């Protein structure tokens, strides 16, 4: 049985030196990129597989539904992965489906709506709905360590500190 050693939300998905450093995390042997658009575009899929391959890890690019199916059918086989998605919603959906993860790093989310998105760290904009999802994952779904950190050398900001900005 495989497992998610680290989940990450980053709109850039696989991002250079950040992924090389993260992929050296103990026990990681693969990177799962979970994104509907990238998985369905052959050129983009190959591009991300190539970028992930530079880390020395097997890189698998799938849609959210395929990730769920792969968990349900094979429990990720022997892949101990870093699972990356562009949005909190995708991670939330995967965890609610039953894919367990203990550690979630929020690395980079751009502003979508100036009316609702708050800059919570230097590289992350969050809206209240996503903040509530992260709180739910932490309190009810066993995602024990949720933090905001753009790069491994940057300081970590805790979920608790971010939730305060939303009055949660």
Where in the sequence is the domain holding 26, given as residue range(s)? 3-164
82 in Cβ contact with 28 (< 8 Å): yes
- Determine the pLDDT at residue 136: 98
What is the distance between the alpha carbons of residues 84 and 129, in angstroms, rounded to a whole number? 20
Predicted local distance difference test score (pLDDT) of residue 19 = 79
Q: Which of 98, 60, 103, 90 is nearest to 78 (CA)?
A: 60
Number of domains in the chain: 1
Q: What is the reported pLDDT for 7? A: 97
- Above 80 in pLDDT, residue 34? yes
| HSE-up of residue 14 (Cα within 13 Å, Cβ side) | 28
**In this predicted structure, what is the pLDDT of residue 27?**
81
55-107: per-residue pLDDT in tens? 888 999 999 999 999 999 999 999 999 999 999 999 999 999 999 999 999 99
Over the chain, what is the mean pLDDT?
94
The CATH number linked to 145 is: 3.40.35.10
């Amino acid at each position: 049985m495989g497992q998610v050693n680290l989940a990450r939300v980053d709109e850039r998905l696989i991002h250079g030196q950040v992924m090389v450093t993260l992929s050296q995390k103990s026990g990681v042997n693969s990177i799962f990129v979970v994104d509907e658009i990238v998985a369905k575009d052959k050129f983009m899929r190959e591009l991300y597989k190539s970028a992930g391959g530079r880390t020395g890890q097997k890189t698998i690019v799938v849609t959210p539904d395929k990730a769920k199916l792969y968990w349900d059918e094979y429990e990720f086989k022997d892949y101990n992965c870093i699972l990356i998605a562009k949005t909190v919603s995708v991670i939330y959906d995967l965890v609610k489906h039953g894919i367990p993860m203990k550690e979630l790093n929020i690395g980079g989310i751009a502003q979508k709506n100036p009316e609702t998105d708050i800059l919570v760290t230097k590289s992350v904009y969050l809206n209240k709905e996503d903040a509530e999802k992260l709180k739910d994952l932490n309190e009810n779904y066993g995602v024990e360590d949720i933090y905001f950190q753009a790069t491994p050398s940057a300081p970590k900001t805790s979920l608790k500190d971010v939730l305060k900005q939303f009055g949660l």
